[in-house]
Homo-oligomer: A and B are copies of this chain.
Amino acid sequence: MIIEVIAVGTELLLGQIVNGNAAFIGSALAENGFDAHYQQVVGDNLGRVADAIGLALSRADAVIITGGLGPTRDDLTREAICAATGREMRHSDTYEEALRERFARLGREIPASNFRQADYPDGAEMLPNPKGTAPGLALEHAGKWIFAIPGVPEEMEHLLVEEVLPRLRRAAGLEGALVNRVLRTWGRPESWVGERLDDLFESSNPSIAFLASGGEIKVRITAKAASEAEALAAIAPMEEEVRRRLGPAVFAVDSETIESVLFALLEEKGWTIGSAESMTAGLVAARLTALPGASKYFRGGIVAYVDDLKRDLLGVDVSHGVVNERVAVEMARGARSRLAVDVAIAVTGSAGPEPMEQPAGTVVIGVATPEDAAARTLTFAGDRERVRTYSTTAALQLARLAMTGAWWRRG
């Protein structure tokens, strides 16, 4: 089944925003086994939006339109669907009433223009949008499907996942369930992961695939079955086998992040955490506080960018250089005591572009826990920003390995 995405909005043509929606939808369609040949972007112009829809209907089985469903006169997707399909516009008194109630609940006056959002092309189904005022639309027309969903990413994602994809799967005759589980790994190259899973790639249901992004390798296990429960049951033994082969390289499942995994470990052990940073200069602390409720686990950090502060604030002996594993361990131990935390993550290194003691891209990460302390030297290619970002992720990953004991066991 071929599906074409049309993004509506002059702001996209002007480059004021990047079309992240198209990437999100493209990725979701691919995961569900749908094909895509083209994407379009079109400005807020009735004739051109209608033409874009007509073109997409001529070459695809279904069209997903994002944007142009707002309350202003620029929002023309509803009208364009009517124009492209020769259908008349209807008005839903029920939805108008729901809009009134929504605004009343918020204690706000409803602008008259908002009632346009209760309009729909004849025959279309209105798709509930709990995150905004514009409903989505689903219309079967001449054996093809047209979906329109808002351009606001949060609303788009919700409507795509909850309303559009299930209808597309039914339309494609994919009656049963398709379930993906993504195992996220860190610290091993793609070739290492690939070799260990080599024979598993022959399995067709569940199937496995892997992709590298942002310094991690993701292994995706996909199962098709009559029901979600059956698909999950088919995934379980494959997941167990993949985990057995990859060991502690697997750090998270699906939407879990290294931050959420660390917090779960801290919660389990009743520990607190802190940081001592030179090269990453606050990025580790910032990542550790990105999630709400961080203050339960994260107490604080010291950014000791210059040598005398490493000495004065962390008690590090800086007389023999500052980019080495001894210093990283001393920084971590110093942070444990000065911040009164159980686990401390330390980062020192040379971010570039100029080398500092070590070649640019060298990072030394130390972790101290109540059990032990150790450091490891890594190198990353790329510019300063990339080196700092990757070093931050590496620091969080090594903290995980230290807290589970996998680091010391591995030697």
Report the Cα distance A281→B292, complex, angstroms. Answer: 13
**CB-CB nearest 9 A-B residue pairs:** A282-B282, A15-B27, A15-B26, A282-B285, A301-B303, A39-B41, A281-B289, A15-B23, A282-B286
From A92-100, A224-232, A304-312, A324-332, the one touching the partner chain is A304-312
CB contacts (< 8 Å) of A14 on chain B: these are: 26-27, 30, 36
Shortest CB–CB separation between residue A389 and chain B, in angstroms? 10
Q: Which of A287-309 contact B (CB under 8 A)?
A: 288-290, 292, 294-295, 298-306, 308-309
| Interface pair B300/A304, CB less than 8 Å apart | yes
From A42-50, A196-204, A365-373, the one touching the partner chain is A42-50
Q: C-beta contact mask, A12-27 vs B, less than 8 Å → 1, else 0?
A: 1111111110111111
Identify which of B17, B24, B288, B302 contacts A302 (C-beta below 8 A): B302
| Interface pair B23/A36, CB less than 8 Å apart | no
Q: Which of A206-233 contact B (CB under 8 A)?
A: 211, 213
A40 at the interface (CB under 8 A from B): yes
Report the Cα distance A36→B9, complex, angstroms. Answer: 11
Q: Can you sample 27 A-B contacts with CB below 8 Å?
A: A14-B30, A15-B22, A15-B23, A15-B29, A15-B30, A16-B27, A16-B211, A16-B213, A18-B20, A19-B19, A19-B22, A37-B43, A38-B43, A40-B40, A277-B282, A281-B282, A281-B286, A282-B284, A282-B301, A283-B286, A286-B286, A290-B388, A292-B384, A299-B305, A300-B303, A300-B313, A302-B313
A140 at the interface (CB under 8 A from B): no
Number of copies: 2
Closest B residue, CB atoms, query A289 = B281
| Interface pair A339/B309, CB less than 8 Å apart | yes
Shortest CB–CB separation between residue A353 and chain B, in angstroms? 6
Select the residue from A286, A292, A384 with max chain B CB neighbours within 10 A.
A286
Report the Cα distance A309→B313, complex, angstroms. Answer: 13
Size of interface on A: residues with Cβ below 8 Å to B: 68
Select the residue from A43, A285, A388 with max chain B CB neighbours within 10 A.
A285
CB contacts (< 8 Å) of A280 on chain B: these are: 286
| Interface pair A48/B37, CB less than 8 Å apart | yes
A241 at the interface (CB under 8 A from B): no
CB contacts (< 8 Å) of A16 on chain B: these are: 23, 27, 211, 213
Report the Cα distance A387→B52, complex, angstroms. Answer: 38
| Interface pair B305/A289, CB less than 8 Å apart | yes
A256 at the interface (CB under 8 A from B): no
| Interface pair A282/B303, CB less than 8 Å apart | yes
Q: C-beta contact mask, A179-213 vs B, less than 8 Å → 1, else 0?
A: 00000000000000000000000000000000101
| Interface pair A288/B281, CB less than 8 Å apart | yes
A354 at the interface (CB under 8 A from B): yes
A28 at the interface (CB under 8 A from B): yes
A385 at the interface (CB under 8 A from B): yes
Shortest CB–CB separation between residue A248 and chain B, in angstroms? 27
Identify which of B39, B42, B305 contacts A12 (C-beta below 8 A): B39
Report the Cα distance A250→B143, complex, angstroms. Answer: 57
| Interface pair B289/A298, CB less than 8 Å apart | no
